Structure 1
Amino acid sequence: MKLLIRNLARTTTENELRELFEAYGSVQSCSLVMDKQTGNSKGFGFVEMPRPGEAKAAMKNLNGTMLAGQPIRVKKAEIKPEKGDTDGGTDE
């Protein structure tokens, strides 16, 4: 399950985020979204956990938790359609 983590401090690292979520289970991937021009964090990122039960536990327990002085928000990431897929994926 892919989780969206928002309201991260700009100083939070991927390692810190990974460690936070590993307390609830295995983490398949962890990435911060970076500004292409400045190279700084945009304040949000994604964590992917292969076991839905662990991901749900992490989401429930970490949402609202203070990290680097800020309350983080954790929710299930929504799957966006592929770019250029405007017809809902049907081939006609």
Structure 2
Amino acid sequence: MKLLVRNLARNTTEDELKNLFSVHGTLQSCNLVIDKETGESKGFAFIEMPKVGEAKVAIKTLNGMDVDGSKIRVKKAEETVKKEEADTE
């Protein structure tokens, strides 16, 4: 299950996120979104956890938690349909 983590402090690192989420299960990927111009975090990340049950526990436990002085928001990421796929349906 792909998760969206928002409202991250600008100084929160990908390693911190991995440590935070790995307590709740296996991580498939962790992608902290970085501004190409400034090199700083944009304040959100995507976490992928292969087991839905573990992902749901992570959402329930971590949503609203204070991390580096920011109250983070964790939810299931919305699946986007690629334009080419949408055009063929």
Place the TM-score, normalised by the shorter chain, in its bin: over 0.9
The CA deviation at 1:39 is: 1.3
Residue 59 of structure 1 aligns with which residue? 59
Higher helix proportion: 2
2:73 paired with 1:73: yes
Give 5+ residue unaligned stretches, structure 2. Answer: none
Give 5+ residue unaligned stretches, structure 1. Answer: none
Count of aligned residue pairs for this structure pair: 89
Greater C-alpha Rg: 1
| Separation in structure 2 between the aligned mates of residue 12 and residue 82 of structure 1, nearest angstrom | 30
State the secondary structure of the residue aligned to 2:18.
helix
Residue 30 of structure 1 aligns with which residue? 30
TM-score by length of 1: 0.91
State the secondary structure of the residue aligned to 1:78.
coil
| Separation in structure 1 between the aligned mates of residue 25 and residue 86 of structure 2, nearest angstrom | 37
| Separation in structure 1 between the aligned mates of residue 67 and residue 7 of structure 2, nearest angstrom | 9
Which amino acid letter does the alignment assign opposite residue 43 of structure 1? Answer: G
RMSD: 1.2
State the secondary structure of the residue aligned to 1:12.
coil
Q: Find runs of 4+ consecutive structure 1 residues off by over 6 angstroms.
A: none
| Separation in structure 1 between the aligned mates of residue 50 and residue 38 of structure 2, nearest angstrom | 32
Residue 47 of structure 1 aligns with which residue? 47
TM-score by length of 2: 0.94
